[in-house]
A and B are shown apart, each in its own frame.
Chain A
Amino acid sequence: MTKGISGKVAIIGAGITKFGELFEQSYNDLVVEAAFEAYQEAGVTGDEIEAAWLGTYLPLGWGFDGTGGPSLAEALNLYPKPVSRVSNYCTTGMEAVRMAAMAVASGMHDVVLAVGAEKMREVPSRRSLVAQHVEKLHPLYAKGRTAPGSFAILATRYFQEYGAGKEDLAEVAVKNHYHGSLNPKAHFRKEITKEQVLKAPPVTEPLGLYDCCPTTDGAAAVVLCRADLAERRFGKKDYVLIEGMGLSCATGYITTAFNPRFDFLGFEASREAARQAYAQAGITRPRDEIDVAEVHDCFTITEILNYEDLGLVGRGEGAAFVRSGASRLGGELPVNASGGLKSCGHPIGATGARVIADLTHQLLGRCEKRQVKGARRALGHTLGGPGAVSCVFVMSKN
């Protein structure tokens, strides 16, 4: 395998909207806000953007915006440039950045924009993902499956295999709500206690209300450019370099749970995407070499599995890792200092872009109360499908 992307692409600006139930804002409002915040940080104007990628997962699932490249072109007046929409389940936003980065690395474009956006709350929450699962997809197979159900089913097996329990899941929820309280952009900004988590009504046993991320609106954007132009053309002394990018499709969408090779203890997609990214970035001991991470905590159990799949700890050691406080701000390797999906929410297409944007700000020292001091190397992870696809980025300060 070649060194891939390492050191070829820089991120010079990032923008994130407030995440929440944003009834006063339209899809276009979110896109504009995120993009222009990124432009400003990058010191570019829209005219300079040569191409753009839009990550929106399911525009016709709960609205009508974001169906194609023109959706982004229209919102930002990128006419008549090349603009594409990408969709890859919950990795969508990160996938948009990945596509954009590959275009820059190929030499096709010098400066590009990637935006992730999803407007889920124009419909009642139950009419979004729950209805999608119940009403769409195959008429017969996997009927009864839901997003939390697809992760909870690993929790059942994980608990049995490793002796973990709901208390371990609660640690993730408490940690990420604490982090969210420090993030002005997060959907949820209140701390919660372990007791609240354990007493919460069941959603998909063993997951309760506080084990699940909310239904949220939001957008995030990043401006990328050729690494050698970051200072020369855009005057940046401080910027972020993409050291490695991985994407892996490791199983089918609804057929994950029918796969006889699946052990329900972690996700091969995450492991393989991480392997690709680490190989490009030259990382062999991720726990030591990474300073800050944002991983896909759609549900508390997922974060625990992510620690293992991303090689931060060995198989079965995820629960102990969160219990030890190592992944909390101030700990050995803060994970989801933004509050993660748990507190920021999960506007599906936006999340991957928000992760890249948040890590960009961590590496540039702009995270204020939730800053991981001296962060030089960052790990970003998204996972969708569930388990079907994962995307991993390794980024560093220049």
Chain B
Amino acid sequence: MAGITSVGAYVPFYRLGGEAVRAVWGAGDPKASRPIAGFDEDAITLGVEALLNATEWGGAQADALYFASTTSPYAEKSNAAVVAAAADLPEALFAADMGGSLRAGTSALRAALDAVEAGSASRAAVVAAEVRPARAGGPDELAFCDGAAALLLGKGDEVAAEVETVHSWTEDFIDRWRLPGEGAVSAGDAKFIQDYGYVRQTAATVEGLLKKTGATREDIARVLVYAPDPRTHAAICKKLGFPEAAYPERPLAARLGDAGAAAPLLALVEGLQGAEPGEHILVTGHGSGGDALLLRATERVRALRAGRGVAWSLERARPLSHYGKWLRFRGLGPEEEIRPFSSPSILWKESRASMRLRAGRCLACGGVQFPRQRVCNGCGARDRWEEHKLARRGRVYTFVHDHLPPSPEGYVTMATADMEGGGRIYAQMTDCEKKDVRIGMEVELTFRLLHRGDGYYNYFWKFRPA
């Protein structure tokens, strides 16, 4: 039976606080604190971070990748392929983009399970990632949440949570929607969509699953239903009628907000990382009906706690110092027109270095060079090198805070760091304050959007405090 072998999650560190929103617009829950992606993050980079948290650096093995998002950076080009390159997956890979509905996360999970079960994939990665389209001053500003979750699926001894039963139910329904080009999500009448949409449809999906399985409500230890907000969540839970203890005391919708297609998988990652062997876990995704999956934690489930998940992300919360930063992060102010040079052929021919961080280790002198040169800059040997993947972690050797390059932060921190195991890299630092940066500090590499030169997304690595 196919199931989950590894999990990871990434919730961006910045927090937009209710107080800041209230100060500008006069309304907003002052206690709210919503995770928002930084200016150099998008659904692809969030997805990469989550997948890296589920896999080993440089050792990721998968032959299928399902990338689910309603906010994919590209409308027409593989987003999954970018994620695969940055996560260093093998090239013999089935890579699918799935979107269109917030149910895409669980849809991707179902599709991946089927592939593993059928044998067309031996190990599948499912990544759901969202940078939600919240409009400044709009009703979703404090309701939406950015984040990503990743699951690796396989068969056999490695499985930490088997998927026992799945059920899906589909009924076209207009509750929330967004047309291409629109920057915000529209919603129907709140009472109608709650009662007839979220509550009724989730109940139908769950009922259908329960009929299929021999399990009763009492058998299921954790019930993780998708809901856009805490009130809807409470209404769904009441209708479903599980014991109170099965529901999370404070669902993610209450603690973080609505993470869209990533929400069910984020909840599942968090649930699995707290599960004990033998527990049954029910998770739903929603969108014109929905998907429900029933999992059973195996003896291996405790091994999932090692991965970086929701708790790890939440520990690193950084409140935005003021509302204006949120506007700058979303590019809602006057920005300098910057058009860096780029070229698809350059990006392609160098991708093993720039995406997969393959430096060169000279076989003559042993020096690690990045970017690698054919003629070793240490000893002059020509074409005598082997690939060496840079480690993720390193120490800062020196740095500056430069106010000249355009940046939503007002300055760019450039640092040179020596990476564990060899190699030195000079790059931007992100997710830190000036006061946090010092010579000798430990940093790790994070995948970020660098710029949009030549009209497409140019991704690269930056440092962040480790």
Contacts and interface: CB of A to CB of B under 8 A. Distances in A.
Contacts of A160: 398, 439
A261 B367 CA distance: 10
B239 to A, nearest CB: 51
A19 to B, nearest CB: 22
A271 B130 CA distance: 53
Contact of B398 (A136, A140, A157): A157
A148 B425 contact: no
Contacts of B426: 141-142, 145, 257-258
B402 A148 contact: yes
A203 B427 CA distance: 18
B405 A264 contact: no
Given A135-B341, A140-B460, A203 B404 contact: yes
Given A136-B341, A143-B428, A205 B401 contact: yes
Interface stretch (B246-254, B327-335, B410-418): B410-418
B340 A143 contact: yes
A259 B450 contact: no
Interface in B112-142: none
B288 interface: no
Nearest to A204: B402
B416 A146 contact: no
A134 interface: yes
Contact of A260 (B343, B404, B423): B423
Contacts of B434: 205
Contact of B371 (A152, A156, A255): A255
Interface string B394-407: 00011111111110
A148 B423 contact: no
B398 A156 contact: yes
B82 to A, nearest CB: 14
A101 to B, nearest CB: 29
Interface size class for chain A?
Answer: 35 or more
Most chain A beta-carbon contacts within 10 A, residue among B343, B369, B414: B414
A123 interface: no
Interface string A279-292: 00000000000000
Contacts of B61: none
B340 A134 contact: yes
A149 interface: yes
B368 interface: yes
A258 B424 contact: yes
A204 B403 contact: yes
B75 interface: no
A252 interface: yes
A160 B439 CA distance: 8
B71 interface: no
A144 interface: yes
Interface string A151-174: 011111100100000000000000
A202 interface: yes
Given A135-B340, A144-B412, A156 B403 contact: no
A134 B407 CA distance: 11
A209 B342 CA distance: 31
Nearest to A145: B414
Interface in B424-466: 424-428, 434, 439, 450-451, 453-454, 458, 460
A320 interface: no
A141 B462 CA distance: 10
Contact of B402 (A135, A138, A146, A201): A146
Interface string A44-81: 00000000000000000000000000000000000000
23 contacts: A134-B338, A139-B341, A139-B454, A140-B347, A140-B350, A140-B354, A141-B371, A141-B426, A143-B450, A145-B414, A146-B402, A152-B402, A153-B398, A153-B399, A153-B416, A155-B400, A156-B399, A160-B398, A203-B404, A258-B424, A260-B422, A264-B397, A264-B398
Given A134-B340, A260-B422, 4 more contacts: A140-B354, A142-B427, A153-B398, A261-B378
Interface of A: 130, 133-146, 148-149, 152-157, 160, 201-206, 251-252, 255, 257-261, 264
Interface of B: 338-343, 346-347, 350, 354, 367-371, 377-378, 397-406, 411-412, 414, 416, 418, 422-428, 434, 439, 450-451, 453-454, 458, 460
Nearest 6 CB-CB pairings of A with B = A257-B426, A139-B342, A157-B398, A204-B402, A144-B412, A152-B400
